[in-house]
Amino acid sequence: MDKEQILHLAKLARLELTEEEIDTFPGQLADVLDFVKQVTDVDVSDVHARDFSLINVMRDDEKPFEAGENRNAILSEMSDTKDDYLKTKKIL
């Protein structure tokens, strides 16, 4: 894994790396990928795909909380609000 690949991966992951990370990550990630590559060598043709059919567990569509019960606590964690609304930069 070279520097260019690391920067591409960081872009996909929506991360900016420090100079130090750009230096150290290629070697470190390559080590780990080399190590996990052993998973690709194992024959799994005898495995039944049991795990891939997950079942949804739904709760009744009832009122889980009193309206407004947690409003202030949740609002106070937001970095920017206006009149009880979450405020963000425009998305369109």
Interface residues toward another protein, by CB under 8 A: 6, 9-10, 12-17, 21, 25, 28-29, 31-33, 35-40, 42, 44, 46-52, 56-59, 70, 73-74, 76-80, 86, 88-91
Query: For residue 88, what are its two tokens?
Result: 């963000």
The CA-atom distances, in angstroms, between 86 and each of 53, 77, 80, 89, 90 are: 37, 10, 6, 10, 12
Smallest distance, Å, CB 9 to another protein? 5
In the bound state with another protein, the residue whose beta carbon lies nearer, of 66 and 80, is: 80
Smallest distance, Å, CB 3 to another protein? 13
Smallest distance, Å, CB 89 to another protein? 4
- What separation, in Å, do the N-terminal and C-terminal C-alpha atoms of the chain show? 36
